[in-house]
Amino acid sequence: MTALEIAKKYVALCKEGRNEEALDSLFSKDAVSVEAGGPPGMDRTSKGMDAIRAKGKWWTDNHTVHKAEVFGPYPHDDRFAVRFVYDITNKPSGQRMTMDEVGLFTVENGKITREEFFYSQG
């Protein structure tokens, strides 16, 4: 698939809540995921699909999603951006919040090799 086809497929799966399927089918096994920030003691960078899936599981275990909106993709050559707006409750704190962020994805050889998340902290 071209970068544009991958971008469209990624967004289509995320809009349907099939995020794990997106990881399985569109990412390189060596992909790297980088957060803008993170809880103390948690590494901002996840290397490889096992680490990325573990981060996803941690996030899913710790948040209730009330509503998820996905905008995009916004392509630029072999990269694309996606905007995510999630209405969530953090389970440990019980705090409900809006998560508004931009993901930047890099495609190489037909797979997503890098995702970086952009958002304000605190």
Binding site for a second copy (CB under 8 A): 34, 36, 71-77, 79-81, 83, 100-102, 104, 116-121
Cβ distance to a second copy smaller for residue 50 or 97? 97
Q: How far is the CB of 104 from a second copy (least distance, A)?
A: 7
Q: Identify the burial level of 29 via C-beta atoms within 10 angstroms of its C-beta, where 0-12 means exposed, 13-18 middle and 19 or more buried.
A: exposed
Q: How far is the CB of 55 from a second copy (least distance, A)?
A: 16
Identify whether the C-beta of residue 35 lies closer than 8 Å to the C-beta of residue 44: yes
Cβ distance to a second copy smaller for residue 61 or 120? 120
- Which residues are CB-contacts of 32 (< 8 A; sequence separation ≥ 6)? 45, 46, 47, 48, 113, 114, 115
Q: What are phi and psi of 9, to 5 degrees?
A: -65, -45
Q: How far is the CB of 81 from a second copy (least distance, A)?
A: 4
Cβ distance to a second copy smaller for residue 58 or 118? 118
